[in-house]
Each structure stands twice: as structure tokens, then as C-alpha cells.
């Protein structure tokens, strides 16, 4: 498990396949602010709520200069099903080997019902136009999180 990012850190570079198998890099968004959020699994209730919230607020976020990228360990095929089923408009990227999740501190030890295990830590990292971390939020809730981000960013 790698260390969590803090504001001012250089956002780790990445290139991952999207739901259609196309390569998407953080560098593709240079010059724009990017909200990169990490979620445990497509097609699950909490992750669906979060992805739908981001989609519902995409116009507001894009209007304020933010792109939104969601990253999970799911395969591109599962992300495509997720996108179609829920009519998602956010960019969904696949990180099955969890290298990017780890680089962003979004993969590590979790506790649930007294059990400790390794898993995805629901996290949101806001990256500025120069590729630096502006906000690093860990262990966020799926519900109400997007509204909080909008408020915190002053949008």
C-alpha cells in the first residue's frame, strides 16, 4: 500500500483502457482540472449512486473547467455494461492490476464487520491544470459526496 497523496504532490501519471478499450492518460487532460475518483466495483449500489451523481452534475463540473474520471479494478467489458445500464457519461477506466489505485493511495487495508482485508478505498483526487494534487479525499461516502465536492470547490 502506498502513501496517500496530499495537496501540492505531483499527481501520478497514468494510462489505462476505458470502457471501449481506448487508452486514456492523465496527460490527455493537461491544462484542465480533473476529478479522479476511485471506486470498488461497477454495478454495485454505492458505486452506481456515486457514478450517477457525477453524471448528473457533469455539466456543472465541466462548466467550471473540471473533467471527471472514474477508476476501478473492473475489466473494460464490465465498465461498458455499467455505462450502458446506468447511462453514465463520466469516463470510466479499468485498473485490473491496481497499479494506479496503489499509486494514488486508493488501495489498501480496509475493515468491514470486524474483518481486515485489502481493497479499494473510495477516494477522490482533484488535480489542477499543471498536474498537481489540489484536494485529496479518502474514505469518502458514495452518497452526497459529489454535492460536497461541488461545495468545497466553490462551484
Q: Which of these is catalytic: 47, 71, 79, 90? A: 47
In 3D space, the residue among 88, 86, 127, 91 whose CA is nearest the CA of residue 18 turns out to be: 91
Cα separation, 39 vs 92, in Å, equals 10
How wide is the angle at C-alpha 104 spanned by C-alphas 89 and 64, nearest 5°?
Answer: 40
Cell readout for 125 is 483526487
H helix or E strand, kind and range, residue 151: helix 145-152
Would you call 52 a catalytic residue per the annotation?
Answer: no
Q: Which residues are catalytic?
A: 47
Amino acid at each position: 500500500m502506498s502513501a496517500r497523496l496530499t495537496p501540492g504532490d505531483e499527481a501520478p501519471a497514468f494510462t489505462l483502457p476505458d470502457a471501449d478499450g481506448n487508452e486514456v492518460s492523465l496527460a490527455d487532460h493537461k491544462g484542465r482540472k480533473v476529478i479522479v475518483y476511485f471506486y470498488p466495483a461497477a454495478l454495485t449500489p454505492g458505486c452506481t449512486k456515486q457514478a450517477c451523481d457525477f453524471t448528473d452534475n457533469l455539466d456543472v463540473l465541466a462548466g467550471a473547467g473540471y473533467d471527471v474520471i472514474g477508476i476501478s479494478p473492473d475489466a473494460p467489458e464490465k465498465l461498458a455494461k455499467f455505462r450502458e445500464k446506468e447511462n453514465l457519461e463520466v469516463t470510466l477506466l479499468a485498473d485490473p492490476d491496481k497499479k494506479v489505485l496503489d499509486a494514488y493511495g486508493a488501495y489498501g487495508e480496509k475493515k468491514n464487520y470486524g474483518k481486515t482485508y485489502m481493497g479499494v478505498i473510495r477516494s477522490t483526487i482533484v488535480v489542477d491544470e499543471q498536474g498537481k494534487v489540489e484536494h485529496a479525499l479518502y474514505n469518502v461516502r458514495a452518497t452526497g459526496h459529489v454535492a460536497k465536492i461541488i461545495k468545497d470547490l466553490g462551484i
